[in-house]
Amino acid sequence: MVEREGMRRGSGGGCGWGGGVLGRWSLRRLLLDSPLVGRRLAHTVLEQADGRPAKLNNVEQQRQTTVEFIAEDEEGDGLECPLCLSVFNSAAMERLAWCSHRCCEPCLRQYLAIEIFEARVPVNCPVCHESMHPSDVRRIVDNPVLYEKYEEFSVRRALAADPDTRWCPAPDCSFAVVATGCASCPKLTCLAPGCGASFCYHCKAAWHPTQTCDAARRSRAPPPRAPQPSHPDIDHGDVKPCPRCSVLIVKVEDGSCNHMVCCVCGAEFCWLCMKEVSDLHYLSPSGCTFWGKKPWSRKKKLLWQLGTLAGAPLGIAVVAGVALPALLVGLPLWAGRRAHRRLRRAPLSAACETRARCASPGAVLAAGDGA
């Protein structure tokens, strides 16, 4: 479980990080500060008495304001629950804060129990894909143990989304350390009562003062063992840990898309090299392909790099060879066309000006005769 009484937050000072022990922090404050919920709060809309939307002025006002909705079904007609398809009056239907969808309370309570037991947190609305507000979950869930599990999953999800979160690797210690600015001096110490384990900020394993992270990782690797009998339909290569939060992810090795997104922390990574990547990763000479089961071989990567080095100057020369004649021919034509238009407009403007000057004395004389 996540240690609620003793989560530490590091301050940016290398080895001198020493943020004190946070007290019993507020789950609501942690969730509202996380990007998972903060994005949705920025678009919270209230309804005024006349039905028009009124946006909140600032984030603090959004966090402290309870979203209120105008009651529907004033004529007394029943509402259909989208889960059980039964008809209820409006008083028996729970209305969600962020998407305003309504479901009957028994169905919504059972739906929340299934979602929480399967660790699908934050829980989405059963009708749309909007996340349910934590206050809605707290109001509907009547089981304290179940709500405690929802809090634990929510906190783990919020901490997993923070790139500075590190978990103590000691056995039976689930102490979270939010170590900000500790990359230059990566030794972290768990301050959990009775633990005191030291671990590395970079590789997230036990502290290795005389080894690099790669050397320590190789030394910790277990010796090769005889192949163990396993289920014929399960391939151990189909299960890999997320490079950010280490959650195990299953993917069928059928050559499908290798661009993966972790459902817990939201990290985007490549299934072949297991590194967090950007959109240009599959266009680089890394050897990873968008589709396929294996990365490129060393020979193919070398040929790609040589082809890129040789093809780049050739491509630039081809583009320059096509663009330069087009500019040499097109630019004079464009300039001549503009000059021709100006010359055609010049006599017309002069004639109009002369005609206006000739018409002005006549207008004056006509005005005088009228007077």
Query: Rounded distance, CA 153 to CA 119, Å?
Result: 7
What three-state secondary structure class fits 200?
Answer: strand
Q: Which residues are CB-contacts of 116 (< 8 A; sequence separation ≥ 6)?
A: 123, 141, 146, 149, 150, 153
Neighbours of 309 (CB within 10 A): 9
d(CA 81, CA 79): 7
195 within 8 A of 176, measured Cβ to Cβ? no
Nearest to 108 by CA among 89, 122, 123, 91: 123
| Largest Cα span, the chain | 121
**Residue 106 near residue 140 (C-beta atoms within 8 A):** no
7: nearest Cα among 173, 136, 154, 163: 173
Helical (H) or strand (E) element with 327: helix 298-370
Mapping DSSP to helix (H, G, I), strand (E, B) and coil, where does residue 171 land? coil
Distance CA 113, CA 142 (A): 10
What's the rounded Cα separation, in Å, for the pair 14 and 179? 9
* Known catalytic residue at 190: no
Catalytic residue among 15, 128, 257, 263: 257
Active site residues: 257
